Structure 1
């Protein structure tokens, strides 16, 4: 069964399930495919009768990513095409709590740290920088080193003060917040990398998704070659996510309109191809509370919540 929410004239760029409320999802979307017009941040709830709208806010430019606070169930941060980050509060139905506009080009990725006691935000921009912020959007540091657009930034779920970025320069980079230095630069693909994610079970494992249509799994202890390479998509991979319930399972979504599920530990790693969108699939997340439930969004103006057949529900 697939639950569907339709948002007319809003093209989905990112989805994230609340870390606090199992059936609550945020979606960052844009008018006119993010090329022009404004953006809308949606907060949705998945109920037995369908997906309902809890709250929505309008922004003057396209919104490309969203992340929930890990310390307050009402707070979200979004990244915009005008170079801004905005803090939004579900108890405030009008303007954002705070806006920071220090990037000089589109903010394409935002992520809220999960390690205990940190409460930091990282953003990545087309201006080739990543910035680290406190929970009130005060910029703490700007990290430079990429030679292309940064499309993805994600905190390590294991190592405090450590995040990864993926760039149009073909590299995956690992950063140390305390020193504001790049600790490792991996020439991961010979094409632009649009997404990266950390394994939830192993601090040394990351995945990258590229314009070359491949997903590569990397072990940071030996980056001379990928641990695994997953082929199957026909166009660029826009986003990928490791499962929070299985070390070797991950999902990827693509400009080929599909979401694919993989187990890189198997001889035939492709588990399933889900073809339920009619446009680019840009947003993807696993539900942390409901095993194997997945949320995705696409440029076809829909958000979909479902459990793929290859990942049956399990009790926890």
Structure 2
């Protein structure tokens, strides 16, 4: 396991670069995000450790980060002052653009990965989601409908101009940006939903994680009940990711929530439990370039990179 320590900065989100296998970014905040400033850490994975490549400070806490899908040097962060910052790692002078329309904290940002699009979606405590062209100073549209904090916004990998959002109102919503409306609202949990993610290999499948300590897997073709539900975690599910798997394997994707790895196609679904942090884990990601490699960040001021044995053991055989 490799790790990086950032004194007095509590990790909120971490993401591996889609271009470079050893580059990653972490959004952090002072004083657990309650007060103080934030820092964007651009890190480099080495053979035996993680080194700081560059850091950028902002005057409020940074709660999420997403890499550009078009430029390996560009990132976007969301902060507690209601703004999005666009950073260029080759420019040490600060953000190259600041986008400010939200009236409360920006808690989620994501860069579209569908071909031909160059869009960022943001979710805020002001109950709205906004879609941005990073080259323009104003948002393209504002999506209203949630009755609570928007904690998570994730673009579909399959449908252009389509994203999902998860909210404190207990609903998972699917939005059509071209129509400027909500296509589907799912009462997914009887509690605040803190995270959602799309399946990379099935355009109809999403997963949600909530304050009720459960993970639910949803099929948009039948939303009357989840196709799978995973219980047993001791704390709220702050972040959930569906694993990128070898597409040749005929298996369901595995879910990682908090310190636990799940495979909802198995019974029992729990694969492994990791306990290598002393505070809450708020951010996690899978490395697209290195199979089964996971990165996470925690309020204990550390970023860690590791390969869980439970994932490595499930690699497809040569047969």
TM over 0.5, yes or no?
yes
- Give the secondary-structure state (helix, strand or coil) at the position aligned to 2:223: coil
Map 1:136-175 to 2 at 5 A: 136-137=135-136, 138-175=138-175
- Give the secondary-structure state (helix, strand or coil) at the position aligned to 2:81: coil
Maintained 8 Å contact 2:6/2:302:
yes
- Give the secondary-structure state (helix, strand or coil) at the position aligned to 1:139: coil
What does residue 271 of structure 1 align with? 271
Greater strand proportion: 1
What does residue 39 of structure 2 align with? 40
Hey, what's the Cα distance between the residues in 2 that align with 1:309 and 1:214?
24
Hey, what's the Cα distance between the residues in 1 that align with 2:221 and 2:284?
28
Maintained 8 Å contact 2:68/2:75:
yes
- Give the secondary-structure state (helix, strand or coil) at the position aligned to 1:70: coil
What does residue 200 of structure 2 align with? 200
Cα displacement (A) at 1:49: 2.9
Hey, what's the Cα distance between the residues in 1 that align with 2:168 and 2:276?
28
- Give the secondary-structure state (helix, strand or coil) at the position aligned to 1:104: coil
**TM-score, normalising length: structure 1:** 0.96
Are positions 1:252 and 2:251 aligned together?
Answer: no
Cα displacement (A) at 1:95: 1.3
What does residue 288 of structure 1 align with? 288
Are positions 1:130 and 2:129 aligned together?
Answer: yes
Are positions 1:103 and 2:108 aligned together?
Answer: no
- Give the secondary-structure state (helix, strand or coil) at the position aligned to 2:239: strand
Hey, what's the Cα distance between the residues in 2 that align with 1:234 and 1:49?
32
Cα displacement (A) at 1:252: 1.0
What does residue 121 of structure 1 align with? 120
What does residue 183 of structure 1 align with? 183
- Give the secondary-structure state (helix, strand or coil) at the position aligned to 1:311: helix
What does residue 50 of structure 1 align with? 49
Hey, what's the Cα distance between the residues in 2 that align with 1:248 and 1:16?
19
Hey, what's the Cα distance between the residues in 1 that align with 2:158 and 2:222?
19
Cα displacement (A) at 1:121: 0.2
Hey, what's the Cα distance between the residues in 2 that align with 1:23 and 1:54?
11
Hey, what's the Cα distance between the residues in 1 that align with 2:217 and 2:291?
22
What does residue 256 of structure 1 align with? none
Cα displacement (A) at 1:135: 2.2
Hey, what's the Cα distance between the residues in 2 that align with 1:268 and 1:49?
35
Q: What is the Cα-based RMSD across aligned positions, in Å?
A: 1.2
What does residue 309 of structure 1 align with? 309
Q: Deviations over 1:159-180 (max 9, x none)?
A: 1000000000000000000011
Maintained 8 Å contact 2:244/2:253:
no
- Give the secondary-structure state (helix, strand or coil) at the position aligned to 1:238: coil
Structure 1 unaligned blocks of 5 or more: 254-258
Cα displacement (A) at 1:244: 0.9
- Give the secondary-structure state (helix, strand or coil) at the position aligned to 2:32: helix
Cα displacement (A) at 1:219: 0.2
Hey, what's the Cα distance between the residues in 1 that align with 2:240 and 2:163?
16
Q: Deviations over 1:203-245 (max 9, x none)?
A: 0000000000000000000000000001121010000000111
Q: How many residues align?
A: 310
Are positions 1:3 and 2:8 aligned together?
Answer: no
Cα displacement (A) at 1:250: 1.5
What does residue 61 of structure 1 align with? 60
Cα displacement (A) at 1:94: 1.6
What does residue 233 of structure 2 align with? 233
Q: Deviations over 1:98-149 (max 9, x none)?
A: 0011000000000000000101000000000000000225310000000000
